[in-house]
């Protein structure tokens, strides 16, 4: 079993992917919801970091200096990814932003490794919907010595339209000129989980698969 399949099972076991009916921030009613806030123990966040680390090294090898995570959800993600990399013998820095700059002592809006214009970062986040948080992160970094963001790694590519008919990830890639990768896609999740019991429970039966496919027909974009 590869790391993608292990990650899909991990999502289900941690209840980080739910199937049913959910109203998203976009206003769409979706048959599934992803919540990385469910990785709420030391063991869970450590394991999560190993999957992000695998995806980072698959796409970028060791050719970067640090992992960046946008506040708030990106904070544990960047730390966990750095720890996951270290477990494979790859020691990299991490850095995240404060939502508000301190007015005393160290007034920097960033916490973690010192940056420079030559620093190369991999940005990690949970999912991308509109890409607003990613764009805000790039602006924050521009104001802090303007390091280069080499790429972005998220947990799940929902393979949905963004503001246009293009995949939301493609919109971010084209708008910022930064490649975006995911640990898994919703298509991979559907294929792997369809009628497959995880801890004795099937979460995607034929009826749920039909709902997922109808949603993809309405909002999907490769």
In CATH, what number is assigned to the domain containing residue 136?
Answer: 3.40.50.2020
Write the DSSP assignment of the chain as a string of letters: --HHHHHHHHHHHTT-EEEEEEE-TTS-EEEEEE-GGG--SHHHHHHHHHHHHHHHHHHHTT--SEEEE-TTTHHHHHHHHHHHHHHTT---EEEEE-SS--SSSS--SEEES---TT-EEEEE-S--SSSHHHHHHHHHHHTTT--EEEEEEEEEE--BB-SSSSBHHHHHHHHHT--EEEEEEHHHHHHHHBT-EETTEESB-HHHHHHHHHHHHHHB--
% of the chain with per-residue pLDDT over 70 = 95
% of the chain with per-residue pLDDT over 90 = 77
Q: What is the pLDDT of residues 166-210, one digit of tens each?
A: 888 999 899 999 999 999 999 999 999 999 999 999 999 999 999
Classify the C-alpha dihedral 63-84-5-207 as positive or negative.
negative
Answer whether 128's CB lies under 8 Å from 169's CB: yes
Number of domains within the chain: 1
> Structure pTM?
0.93
> What's the chain's Rg over C-alpha atoms?
18
Q: What is the pLDDT of residues 91-122, one digit of tens each?
A: 999 999 987 655 554 557 899 999 999 999 99
Which residues are 167's β-sheet partners? Answer: 161
* Containing structural domain, residue 129: 3-219
* Nearest one of 56, 33, 13, 21 to 150, comparing CA atoms: 56
Q: What is the pLDDT of residues 118-150, one digit of tens each?
A: 999 999 999 886 677 788 889 999 999 999 999
């Amino acid at each position: 079993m590869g790391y993608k399949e292990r990650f899909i099972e991990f999502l289900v076991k941690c209840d980080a992917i739910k199937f049913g009916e959910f109203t998203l921030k976009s206003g769409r009613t979706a048959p599934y919801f992803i919540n990385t806030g469910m990785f709420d123990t030391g063991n869970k966040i450590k394991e999560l970091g190993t999957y992000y680390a695998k995806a980072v090294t698959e796409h970028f090898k060791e050719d970067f200096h640090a992992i960046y995570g946008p506040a708030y959800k990106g904070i544990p993600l960047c730390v966990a990814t750095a720890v996951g990399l270290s477990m494979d013998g790859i020691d990299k820095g991490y850095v995240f932003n404060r939502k508000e700059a301190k007015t005393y002592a160290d007034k920097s809006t960033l916490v973690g490794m010192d940056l420079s214009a030559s620093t190369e970062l991999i940005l990690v986040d949970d999912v991308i919907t509109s890409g607003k948080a990613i764009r805000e992160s790039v602006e924050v970094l521009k104001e802090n010595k303007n390091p280069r963001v080499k790429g972005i790694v998220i947990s799940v590519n929902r393979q949905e339209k963004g503001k246009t008919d293009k995949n939301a990830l493609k919109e971010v890639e084209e708008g910022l000129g930064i490649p975006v990768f995911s640990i898994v896609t919703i298509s991979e999740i559907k294929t792997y989980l369809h009628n497959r019991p995880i801890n004795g429970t099937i979460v995607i039966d034929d009826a749920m698969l039909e709902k997922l496919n109808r949603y993809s027909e309405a909002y999907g974009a490769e």
